[in-house]
């Protein structure tokens, strides 16, 4: 019998992936810089994720840099046929661990080749263009130039599908006039709801929406309403937060990040949680 992870699948490019994937950013060292404290533990998390049915992993060569992709390759290559690894380009790391824009045609091309080499792939299944006009949140401005470079790399056969990250609805519309966009990855969770309208519009067009920081990222979600609902359902607050996202819209694909096997198991189990209407309503009310 197929697992709930795969039965509730949604298209991502030319594949269907489970609603609960895995975000690999937390596997690098502190501040997403340098090697992990425990390499074997990081490899074990990746292997267990895939063994449990995860077929969507989110990464970037600027995590580490290079570290996360190298861990994914060490843990999982040769890759299962159904595994979709989604990466992102558009930034680079300074020597002080800062996150810097890297949007020139040369930098974008180099980033695609870095991802191919460190993941050990001939083609990248999905590449998100991570917009850095404002690194901390979407900011208006044309993305035509960098997107055209990425579309050129797609035409060369190095990239199968293109997505966007840290973008406004206007930029999504601009991008869709340039090339097919298969997913949007923005900051969203039950306390950060700026993309509600965008999510619904993308759902109508069958485009995946992949919230980053689904659990609050570096400042984990904390809310008494969330804790109360979780207690009532007999789950953890983080599981309730993930269940809320799964119920929020059918095109939401989750990529919770963790370096812990116990948290990975908890996050995957969130796919089995039924959210009664009153619980959903309470959680809906958390955002201002």
Would you name the residues annotated as active-site residues?
63
105 three-state secondary structure: helix
Query: Are residues 271 and 246 in contact, defined by beta-carbon separation less than 8 angstroms?
Result: yes
* Smallest gap from residue 189 Cβ to ligand NAP (A): 7
For the window 7-26, what string marks contact with ligand NAP as x by the rule CB under 6 A?
----------------xxxx
Q: Which is nearer to ligand NAP, 28 or 279 (by Cβ)?
A: 28
Among residues 215, 240, 273, 279, which is the contact residue for ligand NAP, using CB under 6 A?
215
* Smallest gap from residue 112 Cβ to ligand NAP (A): 16
Listed residue (272, 242, 258) closest to 57, CA to CA: 258
Q: Which is nearer to ligand NAP, 29 or 216 (by Cβ)?
A: 216
159: its two tokens: 């990239």
Integer angstrom CA distances of residue 172 from 89, 128, 149: 16, 12, 16
Query: Token pair 């089995």 is at which residue?
Result: 272
Taking the C-alpha atoms of residue 7 and residue 273, their distance in angstroms, rounded to an integer, is: 14
Rule CB under 6 A: say whether 88 interacts with ligand NAP: yes
Q: What are phi and psi of 49, to 5 degrees?
A: -55, -50
Rule CB under 6 A: say whether 222 interacts with ligand NAP: no
Query: Are residues 162 and 154 in contact, defined by beta-carbon separation less than 8 angstroms?
Result: yes
Q: Which is nearer to ligand NAP, 272 or 278 (by Cβ)?
A: 272
Q: Which is nearer to ligand NAP, 33 or 213 (by Cβ)?
A: 213
Can you name the residues that pair with 209 across neighbouring β-strands? 184, 252
Rule CB under 6 A: say whether 213 interacts with ligand NAP: yes
Among residues 267, 271, 275, 283, which is the contact residue for ligand NAP, using CB under 6 A?
267
Rule CB under 6 A: say whether 195 interacts with ligand NAP: no
- Interacting residues with ligand NAP between 127 and 186 (CB under 6 A): 130, 165-166, 185
* Smallest gap from residue 127 Cβ to ligand NAP (A): 12
226: its two tokens: 């969330």
67: its two tokens: 């570290």
Query: Are residues 203 and 196 in contact, defined by beta-carbon separation less than 8 angstroms?
Result: no
- Number of residues in contact with ligand NAP under rule CB under 6 A: 27
* Chain contacts with ligand NAP (rule: CB under 6 A): 23-26, 58, 88, 130, 165-166, 185, 212-217, 220, 238, 255-260, 263, 266-267
């Amino acid at each position: 019998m197929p697992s709930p992870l795969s039965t509730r699948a949604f298209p991502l490019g030319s594949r269907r992936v489970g609603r609960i994937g895995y975000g690999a950013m937390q596997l690098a060292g502190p501040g997403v810089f340098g090697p992990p404290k425990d390499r074997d533990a990081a490899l074990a998390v990746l292997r267990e994720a895939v063994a449990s049915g995860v077929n969507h992993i989110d990464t970037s060569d600027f995590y580490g840099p290079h570290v996360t992709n190298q861990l994914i390759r060490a843990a999982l290559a040769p890759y299962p046929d159904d595994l979709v690894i989604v990466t992102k380009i558009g930034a680079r790391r300074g020597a002080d661990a800062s996150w810097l824009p890297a949007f020139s045609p040369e930098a974008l091309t180099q980033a695609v080749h870095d991802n191919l080499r460190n993941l050990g792939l001939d083609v990248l299944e999905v590449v998100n263009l991570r917009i850095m006009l404002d690194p901390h949140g979407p900011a208006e401005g044309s993305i035509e130039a960098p997107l055209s470079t990425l579309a050129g790399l797609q035409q060369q056969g190095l990239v199968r599908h293109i997505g966007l990250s840290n973008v406004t609805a206007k930029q999504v519309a601009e991008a869709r006039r340039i090339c097919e966009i298969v997913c949007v990855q923005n900051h969203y969770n039950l306390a950060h709801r700026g993309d509600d309208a965008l999510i619904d519009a993308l759902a109508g067009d069958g485009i995946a929406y992949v919230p980053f920081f689904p659990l609050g990222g570096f400042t984990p979600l904390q809310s008494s309403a969330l804790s109360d609902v979780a207690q009532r359902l007999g789950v953890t607050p983080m599981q309730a937060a993930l269940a809320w996202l799964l119920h929020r819209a059918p095109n939401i694909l989750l990529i919770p990040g963790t370096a812990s096997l116990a948290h990975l198991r908890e996050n995957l189990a969130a796919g089995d949680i039924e959210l009664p209407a009153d619980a959903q309503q309470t959680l809906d009310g958390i955002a201002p």
